[in-house]
Chains A and B, each alone.
Chain A
């Protein structure tokens, strides 16, 4: 359900990625595309030079020259620039605290793509819609009380998804127990994608 201005969501669903547990196998990335955009399997998002997926793998090296890897995806920001910029209100906050899209109201201007500081949106080459986490298939899984595809696919228990408003949810407990961070905190977007820094 679309939240009106000033309304608070009932749940604050959020993703957690444990970078210490992650083996960089890429199962979540492939599961994401296979579940939400199967027509894009084996097709590239040209701007990213990688599989068109709602999860983007960013490889680099740290100061010591050791390889590093970051999995990036929509942060479901609580002050989301993509929501502020969409001209006809196609991008909105829903009652679960997720940033969603109403396809009827989208004209494909890609303003939301340019407005996202995390560079997680991509334009679908077939239908012209801006894509990002969560895809419709994952929303359906969540509505059926299941975990999203990436969480189910991860063989290393590096991913979790749950309600930050629920003190007993696994995500709340993990975030309370283990050191974690968010990306581009200074951007002021109030992101809800948490990177846990030590193994659980």
Chain B
């Protein structure tokens, strides 16, 4: 039995750093919207909206036929050819709804715009728990979608696991806590919000560590040959540096160490800034490592 071919997904389907950044921004915007329910601050609203817009621009730039999008939508509506089985289709729906919600929330958070009476409905919605609950739900679903998007790509066995959406939600939550930490460092929020305090951040880091290790372990032990080779690339192959230093060292262990230091000796803003930036980078590295490690199932002769 011989492995006849190893084709990297990134070389043929071209899902690499651009898509990793898209998934990262969607995660920040998505779980950021959940955080917004509890911490209704203007910088958070702006971060969510900006992340979503940048993420969407990135993904559209990745389409090899982006200019065909209006034509496609026109014919898809005309002929009702939407594919309800496709997570990418649901992604378009969820991200569109999320974008509209986040635009309303941003509108309500810009005092200048609130001078105009015809825009004040934004502030009314921004007070509504029902509306903000819907916003949080849309954000959560956007994060979940960004996981299912790749876990349902049947050509890449490493991705075909329900662990990926779970991992994406956990790591996007880590990123959101990091964003709130940065706001605290910049003095944009008084005190880090209680619900997203240090201990929750550290708990999420531990959960993320377990989920990353479980993902690699399960792929290595019970995955198909394609999943095993992909996981090996992350564990000990050409992507091991990205995994061990980027995802785990910088992304998880460094913030955990700073968290432990903070618990013992109190808050130091420069250290919190390092921790937040490291955690955010780690979340991006995780998405990049998982994407880049994907290969097709080798056809065994």
With most chain A CB atoms within 10 A of its CB, the pick from B12, B81, B296 is B12
| B147–chain A nearest beta-carbon distance, Å | 14
Chain A: residues with CB nearer than 8 A to chain B?
A: 45-48, 58-63, 68, 70, 72, 81, 84-90, 102, 104-111, 113-119, 121-123, 127-129, 183-184, 187, 189
**From A183, which residue of chain B is reached at the shortest CB distance?**
B299
Assuming the contacts A68-B2, A104-B75, asked whether A85 and B152 have C-beta atoms less than 8 A apart, the reply is: yes
| A31–chain B nearest beta-carbon distance, Å | 22
Residue B301 at the chain A interface, CB threshold 8 Å: yes
**From A63, which residue of chain B is reached at the shortest CB distance?**
B1
CB pair B301–A62 under 8 Å, yes or no, is yes
- In the complex, how many residues of chain B place their beta carbon closer than 8 angstroms to a beta carbon of chain A? 47
CB pair B7–A107 under 8 Å, yes or no, is no
| B104–chain A nearest beta-carbon distance, Å | 26
Of the stretches B120-128, B153-161, B163-171, the one at the interface is B153-161
CA distance A111 to B301 in the complex (A): 27
Q: Which of A47, A89, A102, A106 contacts B11 (CB 8 A)?
A: A47
Assuming the contacts A108-B64, A129-B65, asked whether A87 and B89 have C-beta atoms less than 8 A apart, the reply is: yes
Q: Which of A63, A89, A104, A128 contacts B82 (CB 8 A)?
A: A89
CB pair B88–A89 under 8 Å, yes or no, is no
Q: Map CB proximity to A onto B241-276 as digits: 1 under 8 Å, 0 otherwise.
A: 000000000000000000000000000000000000
Q: Which of B75, B88, B301 contacts A105 (CB 8 A)?
A: B75
**From B295, which residue of chain A is reached at the shortest CB distance?**
A119
- Report chain A residues within 8 Å CB of B299: 58, 70, 72, 118-119, 183-184
CB pair B3–A114 under 8 Å, yes or no, is no
CA distance A108 to B67 in the complex (A): 10
Q: Map CB proximity to A onto B181-195 as digits: 1 under 8 Å, 0 otherwise.
A: 000000000000000
With most chain A CB atoms within 10 A of its CB, the pick from B86, B152, B156 is B86
Residue B222 at the chain A interface, CB threshold 8 Å: no
- Report chain A residues within 8 Å CB of B294: 114
Assuming the contacts A72-B299, A87-B92, asked whether A122 and B83 have C-beta atoms less than 8 A apart, the reply is: no
**From A122, which residue of chain B is reached at the shortest CB distance?**
B12
Assuming the contacts A46-B11, A110-B13, asked whether A116 and B155 have C-beta atoms less than 8 A apart, the reply is: yes
CB pair B153–A111 under 8 Å, yes or no, is yes
- Report chain B residues within 8 Å CB of A58: 4-5, 299, 301
Within 8 A of A (CB), among B60-87: 62-66, 68-69, 71-73, 75-76, 79, 81-83, 85-87
